[in-house]
Amino acid sequence: MQARIAMQRSPGEPDTKSQESEEQQSKTSTNYYNYNYGIGSFGLQGNVSLVPKKRTLEGLNSLEEVEAEEETRESTPVSSESLSQSEPKSDLTETTDESYNEPRPLSRYGELLKQRKYVLVLNEFANHYFNDKTIYYMDNDLSLDERLRLSSINFYNECPAELVLEPYVFSDEVYSEIRKWRRALLVKREFFQSPITIQDPPTEDNLFRRDLGTFLLNLRETLDRPLITNSYRQSEIDFSIQNIAILFRFVFNSKSSVNVCWEEPFKVDKVDTEKMVRTDFLLYDSIQELGCGEVKLNCTDERLNEEDRARLGESLKKQLHYRIKQAKSTKEFYTFGIFVVDDIVELYCSSFSKEKGYSFVLLQKIVLPTLMASYTSLEESLEILFNFKEMIKNSQQDPLDYKMPYVHYKYSNYFKPTISFIKSPN
C-alpha cells in the first residue's frame, strides 16, 4: 500500500512522464536528411536540418477553436521574410572544385556553314568587259529570287503572253495511234504499230509515225517492268534512263536540229579556284549549246530543289553569253532549260535584252507522261514539249545569216557577271 501511495503524484507535482513524452515528440518533429547529388563530374553532399516552427495551441479552450486556428494558419499567406527565416540550413555552396570544366565559348563554325564564298565573273567574254575578282559571301538561306538577283537575273514564275507555249497540233493518225496504245495497256494486250504508207522519199509524217511507234513500244516496256521488291525505291539514274531518256529521245531525236547529251558539263571558261558546275543533260545543235536541264527524284527538301533551280538559271545565263558571242541577230539571245522533279516537268527560257536585262522565265509546267500514274496525260504533254522544241528551233541561227557580222559588241555595256563559287581549300 505504501508503495502504491509513493508512486502517486500530488496535484502540484509536475508529470515527469508527460514531459518526457513531449520532449520525445519534439525530437521526432525535427528531421535530419542526408543529401547526395551527382551533378556532372562532381558530387555535393550536405546535412540539412528541418526544424519547423509551429505556433503553440496552448490556451485554446475547445476543439473548435483549435480547428479554426488551423484554418486561419493555412489561409494566411507566408511572407518572404518568414520563408527566408524558415529556409533549411544547408552545406551546399555555389562554388565547385577543380573537377568542374567551364564550357568553352561557341565557335563561329556553324555560322560559316551558312555562307559560301563566291566571285562575280564574266569568263564567257574572257573578262574583256569585266575584271573584278572580289570575294563575296552568300547566305545559303536566300530565296530563289534573291539568289538569282546576285547574278542580275530577273525571275518570272508567270509566263508573259508573248512566250506562252500553245499546244502543238498532231495529225489525226497520231492521236488515233496513242489511243490504240492506251487501250492495249488497259486491257493488258500486246501493242502493234499500225501500218504506215511509206512515201519515196519518206515524208516528215512518215518518220514521225515511225518514231512514235518506237517510243510507244519502249514506254510500254517501261510501264510493264516488274519491281525488284515491293519496297523498291527508284534511283535517280534509273529514273533518268527509264522514264526521261525515252521521252527525250523521241522529242529530240537524231533527225531533229535539237539534241540531248547526258552527263556532260557545259562549256565554261573558269580558273582553277572556281567550282565546276555540271548539269544532268545538255541541249545542243551542231554549232553550239542551246540549254541544259536538271533531274530531281524523291527530294522532300524544297530548299534543295530551289538550289538546283537557281543553278539552272545561272548556267543558262552563262550559256546565253556564249550564244550572244556567236550571234548574228538578237533572235539568238535565248537559252532553254528543263527541270524535272518527280512527275513534273518545268520548262524555262533565259533571255537578254537592253530594256529588260537578263530574264529567267518559267514557261509552263507539264506532267511527266512516262509513269504508270500519269500516262493518260501523254497527248497533252507531247503537245507542249513539241512546241517547246519549236521555240528552240526558232532561236537557232539562220544559214542565210552566216556572213553577217557579230552583234555582241553593240551590247557590251549591258553585260553583267554571274556568281561562281570558290573551291574550299584542301
pLDDT tens digits for range 197-238: 889 999 999 999 999 999 999 999 999 998 887 778 889 999
Q: Determine how many CB atoms are found less than 10 A away from the CB of residue 414.
A: 14
| Cell numbers placing 366 | 507539264
Is residue 193 a part of any domain in this protein? yes
Contact yes or no for 413/125 (Cβ under 8 A) = no
Indicate the pLDDT class of residue 29, thresholds 50, 70 and 90. Answer: very low
By the 8 A CB rule, do 348 and 360 touch?
A: yes
DSSP bridge partners of 361: 156, 349
| pLDDT confidence tier of residue 1, bands split at 50, 70 and 90 | very low
Task: Specify if 27 maps to a domain.
Answer: no
Residue 302 located in a structural domain: yes
Q: Which domain holds residue 245?
A: 145-421
Q: Residue 130 CA to chain centroid, in angstroms?
A: 33
Instruction: Give residue 322's region: left, alpha or beta (phi > 0; psi -120 to 50).
Output: alpha
In a domain, 162, yes or no: yes
C-alpha distances in Å from residue 146, one per residue of 153, 318, 406: 9, 18, 33
At 349, the pLDDT band (50, 70, 90 cuts) reads very high
Residue 66 lies in a domain: no
**Domain-located, residue 190:** yes
Residues 6+ apart with CB under 8 A from 290: 258, 283, 284, 319, 323, 335, 336, 392, 395, 396
Q: Which amino acid is at 63?
A: L
Three-state SS sequence of the chain: CHHHHHHCCCCCCCCHHHHHHHHHHHHHCCEEEEEEEEECCEEEEEEEEECCCCCCCCCCCCHHHHHHHHHHHHHCCCCHHHHHHHCCECCCCCCCCCCCCCCCCCCCHHHHCCEEEEEEECHHHCCCCCCCCCCEEEECCCCHHHHHHCCCEEEECCCCHHHCCCCCCCCHHHHHHHHHHHHHHHCCCCCCCCCCCCCCCCCHHHHHHHHHHHHHHHHHHHHHCCCCCCCCCCCHHHHHHHHHHHHHHHHCCCCCCCEEEECCCCCCCCCCCECCCCCCEEEECCCCEEEEEEEECCCCCHHHHHHHHHHHHHHHHHHHHHHHHHCCCHHHCEEEEEEEECCEEEEEEEEEECCCEEEEEEEEEEECCCCCCCHHHHHHHHHHHHHHHHHHHHCCCCHHHCCCCCCHHHHHHHCCCEEEEECCCC
What is the DSSP pairing of strand 153-156 with strand 42-50? Answer: unpaired
Q: Which residue has the higher pLDDT, 138 or 71?
A: 138
What pTM value is reported for the model? Answer: 0.72
Instruction: Give the pLDDT confidence score for residue 264 in this predicted structure.
Output: 77
> Over 50: is that where the pLDDT of 151 sits?
yes
Residue 64: is its pLDDT beyond 90?
no
Q: Give how many domains the chain has, as a whole number.
A: 1
426 in any annotated domain: no
In a domain, 251, yes or no: yes
Give the model confidence (pLDDT) of 39-60 as tens digits: 444 444 444 444 444 444 444 4
Could you read off the pLDDT of 159-202 as tens digits, one per residue?
999 999 999 999 999 999 999 999 999 999 999 999 998 899 99
| Residue 368, pLDDT score | 97
Give the range among 114-123, 250-259, 336-345 with minimum mean pLDDT: 114-123
